[in-house]
Amino acid sequence: MRTPMIAGNWKMNTTVDEALALVREMHSGIHAAPHVDKVVCPAGICLSDLEAGLEAIANVDKVICPPFVSLASVKEIIKGSSIRLGAQNMYYEEKGAYTGEISPLMLASLCEFVILGHSERRQYFNETSEIVNKKIKAALAVGLKPILCVGERLEDNEAGRTEEVVAEQLSRSLAGIGSLEGLTVAYEPVWAIGTGRAATAKQANETIGFIRHSLRRLYTGVVAEGVRILYGGSVTADNAAELMKQPEIDGALVGGASLKADQFISITKQASEIKGSG
Ligand code: PGA
């Protein structure tokens, strides 16, 4: 019922040229599949090489989130393909004297999704759930689809406070938001991000089940059933299958492994095979 999603969060990586090279490689899988003829494509995407890359994978939403400065060029490159585009953050005001910020309106003409409340934003840029709440409202108001990140820190996890922390992040981030149409949640335990130490599939499944339960309490069963909930934190081609086999997990938000075309293609393929048959 819920279409699985694999989203790549490139974080603060890739120049514009590198971003374009990466997206071309992901799309066509040229390097990822050595058996495929390597066709030189000076501009745009090689339509002759579709078999091995993301474009050939069905039944899963494939989203890439490059840095702001690459969005426009990447958008051009993926035009007409099934790869979808997201940003990694935004400010909540529409426009004005906010030097250096990017507004929802600016993004709305460039991409479809926006990651909000990532733990790195919370940790390094002092983003609170109240700020995230304003951002989600502003994103929804212009038709952007937020990917709301929640997750506990190591000390919370060790103290058995995972559910408490996640429930609070959810209720504060979603305060006053009537409809969750278009919203995806990503459960990203902070201790699993970029550490190579993913949550076990069982842990991730349980907490995501709890997130859905919390959404049921905040909204209704029907609304909660419609929200996609991803797992994020050290997802790789090696642990993707185990995670995707879990009934509560609707996909993955992938950081480090989304910078390697072969890894990202493999994760997406596995999600499609395991989840996307329906
Ligand atoms: P990671 O990052 O896959 O590198 O752990 C995930 C994320 O931060 O979204």
Residue whose CA is at the smallest distance from ligand 1 atom 2? 255
Over residues 185-207, the mean pLDDT reads 96
Residue 29's pLDDT is what?
A: 75
The encoded tokens of residue 240 equal 């993707």
Active site residue 118: yes
Q: What percent of the chain has pLDDT over 70?
A: 91
Contact 232, 253 (CB under 8 A): yes
Q: 115 CB less than 6 Å from ligand 1?
A: no
pLDDT band (50, 70, 90) for residue 153: very high
Q: How close is the Cα of 62 to the center of ligand 1, in Å? A: 16
pTM: 0.92
Q: How close is the Cα of 232 to the center of ligand 1, in Å? A: 6
DSSP 64-115: EE--HHHHHHHHHHHTTSSEEEEES---SSSSSS-TT---HHHHHTT-SEEE
Active site residue 76: no
Convert the pLDDT of each residue in 253-264 to its tens digit: 999 999 999 999
Residue 35's pLDDT is what?
A: 45
Catalytic residue among 118, 120, 127, 152: 118
Convert the pLDDT of each residue in 79-99 to its tens digit: 999 999 999 999 999 999 999
Q: What are the φ/ψ torsions at residue 25 (nearest 5 degrees)?
A: -65, -40
Residue 77's pLDDT is what?
A: 93
Residue 28's pLDDT is what?
A: 83
* Number of the ligand 1 atom closest to the C-alpha atom of 236: 3
Q: Of 250, 12, 249, which Cα lies nearest the Cα of 125?
A: 12
Residue whose CA is at the smallest distance from ligand 1 atom 1? 255
